[in-house]
Amino acid sequence: MADLVISDLTVEFDAGDYPVRPLDGFSATVPDGSLAVLLGPSGCGKTTLLSCLGGILTPTAGSIRYGDKELADMSAGELTAYRQHDVGIVFQAFNLVSSLRAVENVMAPLMAAGASRDKARRRGEELLERVGLSERMHHRPAQLSGGQQQRVSLARALAHDPPLIIADEPTASLDYVQVEGVLRLLRDLASPGRVVVVATHDDRLLPLADEIIEMVPAFRDEAMEVLTTELADGEVLFSQGSRGNRIYVIESGEIAILREHTDTSEELLTVLGADEHFGEMGPLFGIERSATARAKGVAVVRGYTPEQFREHVGADRLTDLIRSAPPG
């Protein structure tokens, strides 16, 4: 019997404009035998946390301890063994092997760990029956609905009967009838000797949870500062297809906004000057940049987070600016 203890966990990525920390000093404890539900908006770090718990992503700092295992101290070989035997992962994207039948997808981790084909098949058939797919175990992923593929993914995660189960939106592709069965299974799995951690937007899971962990987006103090950037002639501020969390206002000089085509040619959309703004749509709506921004001569720009930009222009004015925003 073991608790899951997460202490001061930090994960930092380079987003181009500045370092982003989806997790910044996050701590939580999930007692043995518990079903814990992670709640929070998109971007708050739920999937990042699950990736760390699964040994897929190495945190920048902090500690994850499950029983006598400390993930930060594990070698590459120990992490591989941990992923094979100690944790079962239900991916939101299913990650099934398209050429394998449903039962073979469940068998795969067992055979990779040395189980005989007969033993792996018996276990695979047992688990698929448990998730209500006994009639579909010989179908390939392309022959299954999204909900059925999700249940195969859940069965595969249970193959080794691991003590830690983590699931990212496990009911996202299920209909109402299927949801009830999966919810009951997740609840039953959370028993002495096992911990289940689920990231979900499905409120139906909340009454079944022993622990509800509310997560909020983490921001670095430095990231909240307005950034002033000086660009040389021809220097690219951001590229089409990239992501960022800054909206820009030109302090001096000019910025060319260009659309890049698949044949590598460029189309000049507009040239912006002092006090004009650009780059709103990506940060405000969480989408990729739709154009490239390049300095035309020496230019100085100020970069605002969406919250800062809203304060800078006012909420009413922001709506008008979005409607007339240049690409980028």
Same domain, 155 and 272: no
Same domain, 117 and 148: yes
- Structure-token match 């100085």, residue found: 300
Instruction: Name the residue with higher pLDDT: 166 or 222.
Output: 166
Please report whether residue 328 resides in a domain.
no
Strands 211-214 and 35-39: parallel
Same domain, 178 and 278: no
Give percent helix, percent strand, percent coil of the chain, each to the nearest 5.
30, 30, 40
Same domain, 65 and 154: yes
Of the pLDDT bands very low, low, confident and very high (cuts 50, 70, 90), residue 116 is very high
Distance CA 293, CA 303 (A): 13
**What is the percent of the chain with per-residue pLDDT over 70, rounded to a whole number?**
88
Instruction: Tell me the residue range of the domain where 271 lies.
Output: 225-323
Final residue belonging to a domain, choices 214, 236, 265? 214
Distance CA 263, CA 278 (A): 25
From the CB of residue 221, how many other CB atoms can be counted at a distance below 10 Å?
Answer: 6
Closest to 29 (Cα-Cα) out of 53, 6, 9 = 6
Same domain, 182 and 247: no
Please report whether residue 220 resides in a domain.
no
Same domain, 100 and 128: yes
- Count the domains in the chain: 2
Same domain, 196 and 70: yes
Final residue belonging to a domain, choices 185, 214, 243? 214
Same domain, 180 and 205: yes
Final residue belonging to a domain, choices 179, 214, 249? 214
Write the CA distances from 237 to 32, 50, 258, 307, integer angstroms: 49, 33, 12, 20
Q: What is the pLDDT of residue 156?
A: 93
Same domain, 71 and 136: yes
Which tens digits make up the pLDDT trace of 155-209? Answer: 999 999 999 999 988 887 677 677 777 788 888 889 999 999 999 877 778 888 8
Query: Is the model's pLDDT at 1 over the cut of 80?
Result: no
Distance CA 308, CA 179 (A): 41
Q: What is the pLDDT of residue 221?
A: 43
Same domain, 108 and 204: yes
Closest to 227 (Cα-Cα) out of 245, 206, 203 = 245
Phi, psi (deg, nearest 5) at residue 11 = -130, 125
Same domain, 202 and 249: no
Average pLDDT in the chain: 85
Same domain, 22 and 171: yes
Average pLDDT over residues 235-249: 88
Query: Coil, strand, or helix at residue 269?
Result: strand
Closest to 166 (Cα-Cα) out of 56, 281, 278 = 56
Q: What is the pLDDT of residue 234?
A: 92
Distance CA 153, CA 145 (A): 12
Out of 38-52, 77-91, 280-294, the most confident range is 77-91
Q: What is the pLDDT of residue 222?
A: 44
Query: Coil, strand, or helix at residue 10?
Result: strand
Phi, psi (deg, nearest 5) at residue 61 = -155, 165
Domain CATH code at residue 249: 2.60.120.10
Instruction: Name the residue with higher pLDDT: 148 or 222.
Output: 148
Domain CATH code at residue 146: 3.40.50.300
Of the pLDDT bands very low, low, confident and very high (cuts 50, 70, 90), residue 244 is confident
